[in-house]
Amino acid sequence: MKIILVNGSPHEKGCTYTALSEVAQTLNKQDIKVEFFQLGSKPLSGCLGCGTCQETGKCFMKDLVNEFMEKAEEADGFVFGSPVHFASAAGNLTSFMDRVFFANMGSGILEYKPSAAVVSCRRGGATATFDRLNKYFTISNMPVVSSQYWNLVHGNTPEEVRKDLEGMQTMRTLGNNMAWLLKSIKAGKALGIQYPEKETRIFTNFIR
Ligand SMILES: Cc1cc2nc3c(=O)[nH]c(=O)nc-3n(C[C@H](O)[C@H](O)[C@H](O)COP(=O)(O)O)c2cc1C
């Protein structure tokens, strides 16, 4: 089983990475493979709403989004990490996730795969960012993995994040909870438990 950890920070080895690494190490101890997916520091376009992905399951722009979608097909779950930027998620990450999750509405490859958000901030805006990220999962039929506290760490440097002992413990608990859920889903599949039946989707725009 494999989890992809998306680092939505431009800092490859910064605070968000430090939090994600704690989750990753815990998953490794539970025999779950991990792969980091770095968004890096290059600009990333937001969604243009052209609808191509609804037909093809892929974005017409050839960049990190399609790269991720290919990897996501093989993965069993995801952790999306973001630094807090002005009390919300980093712009590059929301551009990325808007496109990934809109494409998923066409392809459904993320559905029923457990997911979690992880947030790093210096001081404020962490829970607003956490809410923002969880909204992607909860509109996509994805089980959300929780921890003993909201999945946050505090710090302006990796060293400061490592000193946030409660935050780091929250990350380890998240890793263990993710591993438990993945193993439970695997056991359920082996027993023949099927994915839920879906109704034909009703899509209204508040027009009667
Ligand atoms: C543009 C920008 C905006 C920020 N806004 C906030 C904020 O609203 N609240 C906060 O606590 N920290 C804020 N920070 C600090 C970062 O969230 C914090 O240092 C974070 O841990 C950095 O994670 P990283 O090293 O993974 O990028 C901001 C940083 C930047 C660059």
Q: What is the pLDDT of residues 173-189, one digit of tens each?
A: 999 999 999 999 999 99
Q: What pLDDT, on the 0 to 100 scale, is given for residue 122?
A: 98
Q: For residue 15, report the distance from its CA to the centre of ligand 1, in Å.
A: 9
SS3 4: strand
Letter for the amino acid at 67? E
Average pLDDT over residues 130-149: 98
Q: What pLDDT, on the 0 to 100 scale, is given for residue 87?
A: 98
Letter for the amino acid at 136? Y
If pLDDT is split at 50, 70 and 90, which confidence band does 145 have? very high
CA distance 188 to 124: 40
Q: What pLDDT, on the 0 to 100 scale, is given for residue 203?
A: 87
Q: What pLDDT, on the 0 to 100 scale, is given for residue 206?
A: 81
Nearest residue (by CA) to ligand 1, atom 2, is: 85
Q: For residue 83, report the distance from its CA to the centre of ligand 1, in Å.
A: 5
Question: Which mutation among 20, 122, 160, 164 tests ligand 1's pocket best, with the greatest number of atoms within 8 A of CB?
Answer: 122
Q: What pLDDT, on the 0 to 100 scale, is given for residue 142?
A: 98
Tell whether the model's pLDDT for residue 207 goes beyond 90: no
Q: What pLDDT, on the 0 to 100 scale, is given for residue 155?
A: 98
Tell whether the model's pLDDT for residue 138 goes beyond 90: yes
Q: What pLDDT, on the 0 to 100 scale, is given for residue 140?
A: 97
Our answer on whether the CB atom of 86 is closer than 6 Å to any ligand 1 atom is yes
Q: Residue 81's closest CA among 174, 19, 148? A: 19
Q: Residue 87's closest CA among 121, 133, 117, 118? A: 121
Our answer on whether the CB atom of 172 is closer than 6 Å to any ligand 1 atom is no
If pLDDT is split at 50, 70 and 90, which confidence band does 132 have? very high
Structural tokens at position 101: 């999750």
Q: What pLDDT, on the 0 to 100 scale, is given for residue 154?
A: 98
Q: What is the largest CA-CA distance in the chain?
A: 55
With 0.95 as the threshold, say if the pTM is over it: yes
Average pLDDT over residues 138-165: 98
Q: How far is CA 170 from CA 10, 59, 133, 175, 197, in A?
A: 23, 35, 17, 9, 34
Q: What pLDDT, on the 0 to 100 scale, is given for residue 195?
A: 95
Q: What pLDDT, on the 0 to 100 scale, is given for residue 208?
A: 64
Average pLDDT over residues 99-106: 96
Average pLDDT over residues 30-46: 97
Tell whether the model's pLDDT for residue 100 goes beyond 80: yes
CA distance 189 to 201: 25
Q: What pLDDT, on the 0 to 100 scale, is given for residue 57?
A: 86
Average pLDDT over residues 93-102: 98
